[in-house]
């Protein structure tokens, strides 16, 4: 049913674009024939908006991966730098939350470790909605912030780093086998504001997959049993994403557009001082409005990275920019 709904929406959108294109093209011809500048302006504006819609549908059509249509987990980890990096990690969490809300997605904070003074050390956000993983998968990597630190009494410029990891939520159509002997399961007390019983028992769960070293944790549920079940789903997603990445790197070993999303490899820089600019280092797409970007306006970066990753052609990036 979900696949049918997706196809119905795509077909309907395509037919609406075709109909609107014909109507507005006819209106433009009529306006030129009658020398009606106001009507011509309306038709041209409608055609520009139609071009944007067609562009969005073209990008959406690129989401053809096995798990692109699934919900997603988004993990954020502060880098070295203490309070400054932890505040930057919190800014990224807010950015992705607002992006999700602006696209009609639902969000749930699965786990959060607050910083000592401000910000967060790490957090895991689940984003629920059609194509959530497909849109955000290119956001995995290291994000760099340059600004005058609000925590520095000398008002010096600081550079901070935080890493983002994006993993699909595994549904019943995808099977991931995990051997119990490969797991180490630890329990601990939840952090945060909490509530009755939340911070008084060891309900939080941390699972380590020994062969790969992947660690997941969950503390948003009241019971240890529910947190363990959720953590196992998160581990399945991490292992599946690791397999997808291994396949992709193997298939694109000789591709010039290949990028490494490991720690220490920046994908985007956000500069607030001495000038204002956000630049994606993979595609070259830039924005001179960092405030807009940090409030969730990342669509141009997401679209360009997605097109470059799938098409593997530089001209695709230029078109999107």
Q: Read out DSSP for 108-175?
A: EEEEEEE-SSSSEEEEEEEEESTTHHHHHGGG-EEEEEEEE-TT-TT--EEEEEEEEEEEEPP-TT--
* 159 and 287 inside one domain: yes
Residue 221: CATH number of its domain: 3.30.160.20
The set of residues, in sequence order, having a beta carbon less than 8 Å from that of 116 and lying 6+ positions away, is: 82, 83, 86
Identify the pLDDT of residue 320: 40
Q: Is residue 285 part of a domain?
A: yes
Identify the pLDDT of residue 265: 66
* 105 and 212 inside one domain: no
Identify the pLDDT of residue 292: 96
* 237 and 202 inside one domain: yes
Write the pLDDT tens digit of every residue in 99-125: 999 999 999 998 899 988 889 999 999
Q: Is residue 175 part of a domain?
A: no
* 187 and 307 inside one domain: no
* 80 and 150 inside one domain: yes
Identify the pLDDT of residue 269: 94
* 14 and 134 inside one domain: no
Identify the pLDDT of residue 290: 95
What are the Cα distances from residue 38, in Å, to 31, 232, 235? 8, 60, 58
Q: Which residues of the chain have pLDDT under 70?
A: 64, 171-174, 191-202, 247-265, 309-321
Q: Is residue 29 part of a domain?
A: yes
Write the pLDDT tens digit of every residue in 153-196: 777 888 999 999 998 888 666 677 788 888 998 888 776 554 44
The whole model's pTM is what?
A: 0.69
Q: Is residue 225 part of a domain?
A: yes
* 95 and 165 inside one domain: yes
What are the Cα distances from residue 60, in Å, to 175, 307, 319? 25, 10, 15
Q: What domain count does the chain have?
A: 3
Q: Is residue 66 part of a domain?
A: no
* 43 and 76 inside one domain: no
Look up the domain containing 261 and give its range.
72-169+257-320
Strand partners, 264: none
Identify the pLDDT of residue 228: 86
Identify the pLDDT of residue 257: 37
* Domain stop point among 197, 226, 250: 250
């Amino acid at each position: 049913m979900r696949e049918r709904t997706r196809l119905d929406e795509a077909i309907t959108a395509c037919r609406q674009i075709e109909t609107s294109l014909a109507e507005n093209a006819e209106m433009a011809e009529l306006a030129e024939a009658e020398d009606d500048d106001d009507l011509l302006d309306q038709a041209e504006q409608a055609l520009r908006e139609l071009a944007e819609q067609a562009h969005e549908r073209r990008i959406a059509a690129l989401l053809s991966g096995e798990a692109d249509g699934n919900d997603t987990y988004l993990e954020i980890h502060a880098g070295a730098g203490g309070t400054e990096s932890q505040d930057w990690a919190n800014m990224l969490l807010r950015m992705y939350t607002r992006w999700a809300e602006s696209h009609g997605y639902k969000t749930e904070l699965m786990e959060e470790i607050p910083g000592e003074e401000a910000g967060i050390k790490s957090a895991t956000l689940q984003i629920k909605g059609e194509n959530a993983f497909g849109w955000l998968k290119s956001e995995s990597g290291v994000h760099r912030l340059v600004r005058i630190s609000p925590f520095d009494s000398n008002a010096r410029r600081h550079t901070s780093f935080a890493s983002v990891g994006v993993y699909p939520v595994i549904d019943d159509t995808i099977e991931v086998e995990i051997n119990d002997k490969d797991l180490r399961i630890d329990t601990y007390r939840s952090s945060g504001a909490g509530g009755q019983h939340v911070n008084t028992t060891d309900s939080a769960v941390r699972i380590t997959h020994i062969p790969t070293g992947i660690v997941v944790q969950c503390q948003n549920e009241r019971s240890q049993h529910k947190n363990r079940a959720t953590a196992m789903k998160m581990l399945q997603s991490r292992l599946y994403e690791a397999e997808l990445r291994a396949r992709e790197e193997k298939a694109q070993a000789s591709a010039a557009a290949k990028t490494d999303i490991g720690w220490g490899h920046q994908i985007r820089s956000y500069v607030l001082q001495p000038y204002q600019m956000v630049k994606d280092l993979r595609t070259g797409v830039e924005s001179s409005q960092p405030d807009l970007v940090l409030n969730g306006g990342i669509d141009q970066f997401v679209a360009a990275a997605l097109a470059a990753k799938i098409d593997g052609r530089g001209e695709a990036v230029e078109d999107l920019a």
